[in-house]
Amino acid sequence: MKTPRQRKIQEIIETQDVETQFELTEVLRKLGFEVTQATVSRDIKELGLVKVPAGLNRSKYSMPGKIPFVNVYERTKRMFMDNVTNMDFSENLILIRTLPGVAQAVASCVDHLDWKEIIGTVAGDDTIMVVVKPKELVQIVLKRFNSLMNQ
């Protein structure tokens, strides 16, 4: 019974804005699941659900990794202006140097830009490797990165 219930919870939070355990418990009960708030609380923990912004002074449950980025471009621009110190490239790789400790945050922003030319990023403490495909587009991506730093 646990697996179907947890699948239903995932379905519910992907289709509805559920703010509290109580709300989720009530929705599950209306769908025929006999649950207590304690059971729902355990399910939330096991599924790793997180609370994410859902508008003005509101939040909702979401699956991990599905946290919506708000104003991705503006956030990335601020991250680049405040934290990127240098960039270089070779073949289809762009190397971005950052202040210590922020490379992973900057790489996450780059990943969420969803630029089709970027296959992915790998970040350490102060260095990010960006993989671009095809390599002919490296200069274009590098120009975009530079524009993020200089706006």
Q: Does a structural domain hold residue 111?
A: yes
Q: How confident is the model at residue 66, as a pLDDT?
A: 54
Q: What Å distances lie between residue 92 and 14, 23, 29, CA to CA?
A: 36, 49, 53
Q: Among residues 11, 38, 62, which one ends one of the domains?
A: 62
Q: How confident is the model at residue 52, as a pLDDT?
A: 82
- Both 58 and 127 in one domain: the answer is no
Q: How confident is the model at residue 74, as a pLDDT?
A: 86
List phi, psi (to 5°) of 28: -60, -40
Check the CA dihedral 128-74-14-19 and report its sign.
Answer: positive
- Both 33 and 95 in one domain: the answer is no
- Both 95 and 145 in one domain: the answer is yes
Rounded CA gap, 61 and 21, in Å?
Answer: 9
Q: Total structural domains in the chain?
A: 2
- Both 76 and 144 in one domain: the answer is yes
Q: Among residues 62, 84, 99, which one ends one of the domains?
A: 62
Q: Does a structural domain hold residue 14?
A: yes
Q: How confident is the model at residue 133, as a pLDDT?
A: 94
Q: Does a structural domain hold residue 67?
A: no
Q: Among residues 62, 83, 104, which one ends one of the domains?
A: 62
Q: How confident is the model at residue 2, as a pLDDT?
A: 80
Q: How confident is the model at residue 68, as a pLDDT?
A: 57
Q: How confident is the model at residue 67, as a pLDDT?
A: 53
Rounded CA gap, 135 and 119, in Å?
Answer: 11
Q: How confident is the chain (151 residues) per 10-residue block, as mean pLDDT?
A: 88 91 95 93 88 81 69 87 95 96 91 92 96 95 93 68
Q: How confident is the model at residue 73, as a pLDDT?
A: 86
User: Can you give the residue range of the structural domain that contains 126?
Assistant: 72-149
- Both 30 and 94 in one domain: the answer is no
Q: What Å distances lie between residue 80 and 18, 21, 75, 76, 124, CA to CA?
A: 34, 38, 9, 6, 16
Task: Note whether 23 and 53 are within 8 A (CB).
Answer: no
- Both 58 and 77 in one domain: the answer is no
